[in-house]
Amino acid sequence: MPELSQETERTRALLPLGVAEVTGPSMVPTLQHGDRLLLQYGARVRPGDVIVLRHPFQQDLLVVKRAVELREGGWWVLGDNPYAGGDSTDYGTVPEELVLGKVWFRYRPPRDDQRSAFARLRWALSAARPVLSDRSAPRRLRAR
């Protein structure tokens, strides 16, 4: 589940971009615990997009999930990790007004144990990546 800084919440009205940090395993393998996300507030969400939203029952809690399909009542969202839970299978559809934004980019900070030149090079080549929409996700995830 991502966390938005208070600074991000304050500048939300000024800039359409925000930063979040992933905590937990619900989006593995797409996102890892500790990843930083760049999200666009108010972006058009399509099935397969990774989004940040407010939890329907705990609106002070933010979650990151994949939008599967738009149903009556809102978005059906699922995590990429089928064993983690904490998605629409637990709380149903998420009203569109609780969707904060679409994730565009992921940055993985370096770990303390990456000391060798090879480890640092490998990190540098994989640390920053776009978070791509998975257009096959609605078909694949709906079967769960």
Which residues neighbour 117 within 8 Å (Cβ) at sequence distance 6 or greater?
A: none
Q: What is the pLDDT of residue 6?
A: 44
- 84, 25 in Cβ contact below 8 A? yes
What pTM does this model have? 0.79
DSSP letter at 36? E
For the stretch 38-92, pLDDT in tens is 999 999 999 999 999 999 999 899 999 999 999 999 999 999 998 988 899 999 9
